[in-house]
């Protein structure tokens, strides 16, 4: 990594490294992850120096204090990242697992073996910790990864990627399995996205604009989600205390993330009683309510929703609220305004719970729990590489398994076709 | 279907139909399939008339007798197609299955539910029976399908698609779930391939040129395979009678299909003894051998392979043969010249069998059996929609399951995130 490589050179090296890491033992991959964790704790110096450079530039460019905070690394944060890598090391290795092996009438044994995808490119924004998470998940799943972090975190991410490469070498694995695009030149990213014979998958993580640019510019398959316009529908049969607890959590617990609720739909029959408990709780928590006409009738103090408020990802303490006449109207609203991310129903009615689950076409459909659970860790995947609202390959939170594909493996003893 | 629709109109109707057929019961979908089978037998008149028109045009355009034969429909062939539809009806419904449901420590039940993809476009060449197979598989998997058959079979395919639409209506399902692009204008196909908000997946089936045109023109995800350059490696430890049987079958049983063997790799230690049995058998069957220099040394009568013969899909009784020094050299050759379709090893050695299975990066990897088994029916998928050599979503033969995706479903009883 001493001299600046072009993306073609870099992707070619990544593809060669991918073949080697695909066949690496679980032991070697875990050794690399544990070495990486150790280096983050014992060789933090260059990382913190690089981070100080990024922070100084961020200040000079007037980055918001919130963004500066997301950029900042300190020994405590590095320890947390190292802990994350140790957790990835402790996860089961997805590679090589053979599933659904069946014996055919002619004695052939046919199964599917989980194998790495190959080379994955991750295009992300300023958070330097994504560098380590992405590198860790790709190492464990036997893939090579090309990282292209945001320019604000360029020095930090480069220093973090360098420690990954050193750790791979220490474990006898190819350093080129984790590389960082060594420039912030956007043209190089555009070139990278056309290398469809070398790179197998692109995952963009960040704002809508970043994602749209990647989707439009890439000839490589892309897995992504644009936004999280999550709904909760409070059915007429809902248990009101449960509905209040769940809806409060979905909006307030962490409003700035993609699985926070943005629109609340309420069945007209329960609306008066539910609003009586719910709206004061929101008000107390500082949530701005933007209600439909029927909501305003029941709670005249709320703001009137503008048309654009339904289907909007606020990412702050603002909530659009609509009273609906039926489950069908709620599902129709979700189909029209949702983003196929995460949608929930609160209901005590068995049949309506099952209809909602079957008919709502979102990557996560939840009954009687907060939309905030839509997350790889909460779902027990052990890790998360992002959330997909695409239909092909992976949908919903992506864990280690979603960084693999399967091939058919067939064991015979001389069978031929008649 | 009386008036000609543009593709936008047609895809919009398909999307609406997709929502309805996604929620259809297994009973209704099977009723449509059985009605379709019945109509192919009892209402064959218009189909055979349309086929006669296609055949007359094919003769006028001087289509080869083999292609004319592929185009031809008669009551016996229609019965076979009807039987295929009845078999699809008898397969288990993939939709709605919930897999890997686990209980999280907080009591949330998290699983994955299999759901239809939505709208699938199939672009295929002249064989009219693909119309019925594709329609049948899409109906069963709860998808809407847009068919675009080859222009030579246009009238036949349109008549066959019309019977599908009538059968859907008969079963109370939307006729627009199966539609045929009502024109052979290529510009309309180009337009279709840009409708990425309406169509979820494109599957091109046919020659390399067709596939390349679709891949390059589409903004919708495409699943495909370019060609089948299948290898068999006869390891030094192979049982020679088994190797002869398997290699003969892989080349000779049906040479014109994508899972027929095109290149035979032979370990140098077994080459003399193996060739002594193998090559006369090929000679007797009329197989033209194009051998490497070492092959020619052992069997001077064979033709010398030209460089382009390795990695070529002959699709006829021609076989490239190469002597290699090791398993590694064989795998290196496959990585370089193969098409990630199907590759096989014949060996009695346990460790080498497992290495081949783990390290060869093809959609099907076979030990001690003919490459000809790489097929959805032979693998027990019950049906096949084509073969994918792509890494995302589906790899290898695609059955009903591969026409679905999964979403996360979460059942709670009031959980919130702390």
Q: What is the pLDDT of residues B333-353, one digit of tens each?
A: 999 999 999 999 999 999 999
pLDDT above 60 for A3: no
ipTM for the assembly: 0.93
B96:A245 CB<8 A: no
Residue A364 contacts residue A342 (beta carbons within 8 Å): yes
Contact A409 B365 (CB under 8 A): yes
Which of A15, A345, A366, A369 to probe by mutation at the B interface, max B CB count within 10 Å? A369
Q: How many Å lie between the alpha carbon of A405 and the closest alpha carbon of chain B?
A: 6
Spatial distance between the Cα atoms of B52 and B57, rounded to a whole number of angstroms: 9
What does the angle CA A105 – CA A107 – CA A109 come to, to the nearest 5 degrees? 105
- For residue B119, the surrounding DSSP H or E stretch is strand B119-124
What's the rounded Cα separation, in Å, for the pair B398 and A98?
18
Looking at chain B, the domain(s) classified CATH 3.40.605.10 span 7-225+397-409
Sheet arrangement for strand A144-148: A178-180, A144-148, A119-124, A201-205
Subunit contact B365:A23, Cβ cutoff 8 A: no
Distances (CA, A) of B326 to B137, B166, B322, B330, B367: 43, 59, 12, 6, 17
- pLDDT exceeds 60 at position A414: yes
What confidence tier does A4 reach under pLDDT thresholds 50, 70, 90?
Answer: low
Strands (DSSP E) found in A181-260: 201-205, 230-234
Give the C-alpha distances (Å, rounded to integers) separating A221 from A120, A199, B191.
10, 9, 20
The predicted model gives A341-370 an average pLDDT of 97
pLDDT for A1 equals 40
- Give A-chain residues touching B245 at CB under 8 angstroms: 414, 416
Assigned architecture for domain A230-373: 3-Layer(aba) Sandwich (3.40)
Amino acid A258: pLDDT:
94
B108 to chain A: closest CA residue? A369
Q: Which two tokens stand for residue A160?
A: 């973090």
| B370/A246 touch (CB, cutoff 8 Å), yes or no | no
Whole-number pLDDT of residue B4: 53
| Whether the Cβ atoms of residue A222 and residue A255 lie closer than 8 Å to each other | no
Look up tokens 């009568």; give the residue. B301
Burial class of residue A336 (count of CB atoms within 10 Å of its CB; 0-12, 13-18, 19+): exposed
Q: What are phi and psi of A196, to 5 degrees?
A: -75, -10
The DSSP-derived string for B174-199 is -GGGEEE-S---HHHHHHHTT-TTT-
Cβ atoms of residues A389 and A338 within 8 Å: no
Whole-angstrom distance, CA of residue A218 vs CA of residue A237: 47
pLDDT tens figures, A158-200: 999 999 999 999 999 999 999 999 988 889 999 999 998 899 9
Task: Name residue B220's beta-bridge partners.
Answer: none
Residues of chain B with Cβ-Cβ distance to A378 below 8 Å are 104, 108, 417
**Pairing verdict, β A404-415 and A109-116:** antiparallel
- Rounded to whole angstroms, the Cα distance separating A347 from A330 reads 13
**Separation between Cα atoms, residue B253 and residue B260, nearest integer Å:** 8
**Among all residues of chain B, which has the CA nearest to that of A390?**
B200
Nearest to A221 among B112, B392, B406 (CB): B392
Which one of B253, B392, B416 has the shortest CB-CB distance to A246?
Answer: B416
Contacts of A405 in chain B (CB under 8 A): 391-392, 395
What is residue A86's three-state secondary structure?
helix
Residue B1 has a pLDDT of 40
Whole-number Å distance between alpha carbons of A240 and A244: 6
Which pLDDT does position A2 carry in this prediction? Answer: 42
- What pLDDT does A185 receive? 87
Share above pLDDT 90 across residues of chain A, in percent, rounded to a whole number: 87
Which of A110, A409, A417 is opposite residue B380, by nearest beta carbon? A110
Q: Please identify, in words, the CATH class of the domain defined by A7-224.
A: alpha beta
Closest partner CB to A373 (pick from B357, B362, B417): B417
Minimal Cβ distance to A416: which of B102, B245, B362: B245
State which residue of chain A sits closest to B410, comparing Cα positions.
Answer: A366
Pairing of the two strands B318-324 and B288-291: parallel
pLDDT at B82 over 60: yes
Q: What is the pLDDT of residues A219-254, one digit of tens each?
A: 888 998 888 999 999 999 999 999 999 999 999 999
Query: Considering the entire predicted model, what is its pTM?
Result: 0.91
Distance of CA B146 to the CA centre of its chain: 17
> Cα–Cα distance between A118 and A14 in angstroms, integer?
9
More confident residue, B205 or A281: A281
Q: What is the mean pLDDT of chain B?
A: 95
Task: Give A185→chain B minimum CA distance, Å.
Answer: 26
Average the pLDDT over B84-89 and give the result: 96
Write out the residue limits of the CATH 3.40.605.10 domain(s) in chain A.
7-224
Distance CA B386, CA B319 (A): 24
Q: Where are the alpha helices (DSSP H) in A218-317?
A: 240-252, 271-284, 293-298
Tell me the pLDDT tens digit for each residue of B140-199: 999 999 999 989 999 999 999 999 999 999 999 999 999 999 988 889 999 999 998 899
Convert the pLDDT of each residue in A88-131 to its tens digit.
Answer: 999 999 999 999 999 999 999 999 999 999 999 999 987 898 99
The DSSP letter of residue A92 is P
Taking a C-beta distance cutoff of 8 angstroms, is the pair A223, A337 a contact?
A: no
Instruction: Give the rounded percent of residues in chain B with a pLDDT score beyond 70.
Output: 99
Buried b (16+ CB within 10 A) or exposed e, A59-83: eeeebeeebbebbebeeeebeebbe
> Under DSSP, is residue A198 helix (H, G, I), strand (E, B) or coil?
coil
Q: Which of B110, B353, B416 sits opposite A379 (nearest CB)?
A: B110
> Which CATH superfamily does the domain covering B7-225+397-409 fall into?
Aldehyde Dehydrogenase; Chain A, domain 1 (3.40.605.10)
Compute the nearest-CA separation of A25 from chain B (Å): 12
- Range(s) for CATH 3.40.309.10 in chain A? 230-373
B408 contacts on A by Cβ (under 8 Å): 363-365, 374, 379, 395-397
Mean pLDDT of A196-220: 89
């Amino acid at each position: 990594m001493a001299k600046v490589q072009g993306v073609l050179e870099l992707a070619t090296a990544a593809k060669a490294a991918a073949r080697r890491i695909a066949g690496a033992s679980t032991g070697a991959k875990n050794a690399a992850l544990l070495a990486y964790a150790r280096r983050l704790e014992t060789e933090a110096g260059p990382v913190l120096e690089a981070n100080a450079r990024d922070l100084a530039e961020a200040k000079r460019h007037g980055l918001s204090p919130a963004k500066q905070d997301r950029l900042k690394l300190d020994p405590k944060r590095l320890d947390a990242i190292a802990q994350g890598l140790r957790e990835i090391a402790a996860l089961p290795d997805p590679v090589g697992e053979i599933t659904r092996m069946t014996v055919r009438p002619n004695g052939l044994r046919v199964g599917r073996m989980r194998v790495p995808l190959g080379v994955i490119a991750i295009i992300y924004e300023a958070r330097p910790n994504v560098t380590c998470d992405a590198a860790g998940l790709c190492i464990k799943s036997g893939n090579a990864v090309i990282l292209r972090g945001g320019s604000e975190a360029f020095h930090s991410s480069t220093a973090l990627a360098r420690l990954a490469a050193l750790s791979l070498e220490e474990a006898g694995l190819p350093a080129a399995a984790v590389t960082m695009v060594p420039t912030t030149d956007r043209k190089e990213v555009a070139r990278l996205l056309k290398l469809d014979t070398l790179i197998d998958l692109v995952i963009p993580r960040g704002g809508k604009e970043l994602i749209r640019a990647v989707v439009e510019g890439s000839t490589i398959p892309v897995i992504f989600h644009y936004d999280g316009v999550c709904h909760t529908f409070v059915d007429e049969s809902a248990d009101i205390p449960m509905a209040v607890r769940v809806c409060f959590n979905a909006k307030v617990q962490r409003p700035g993330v993609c699985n926070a609720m943005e629109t609340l739909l309420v069945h007209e029959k329960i609306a008066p009683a539910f609003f009586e408990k719910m709206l004061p709780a929101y008000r107390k928590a500082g949530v701005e309510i933007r209600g439909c006409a029927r909501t305003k009738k029941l709670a005249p103090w709320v703001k009137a929703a503008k048309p654009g408020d339904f289907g909007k990802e606020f990412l702050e303490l603002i909530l659009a609220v609509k009273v609906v006449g039926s489950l069908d109207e709620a599902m129709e609203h979700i189909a029209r305004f949702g983003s196929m991310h995460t949608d929930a129903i609160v209901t005590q009615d068995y049949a309506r719970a099952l209809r909602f689950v079957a008919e709502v076409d979102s990557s996560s459909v939840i009954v009687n729990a907060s939309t905030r659970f839509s997350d790889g860790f909460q779902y027990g995947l052990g890790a998360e590489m992002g959330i997909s609202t695409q239909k092909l390959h992976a949908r919903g939170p992506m864990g280690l398994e979603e960084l693999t594909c399967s091939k058919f493996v067939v064991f015979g003893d001389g069978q031929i076709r008649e």
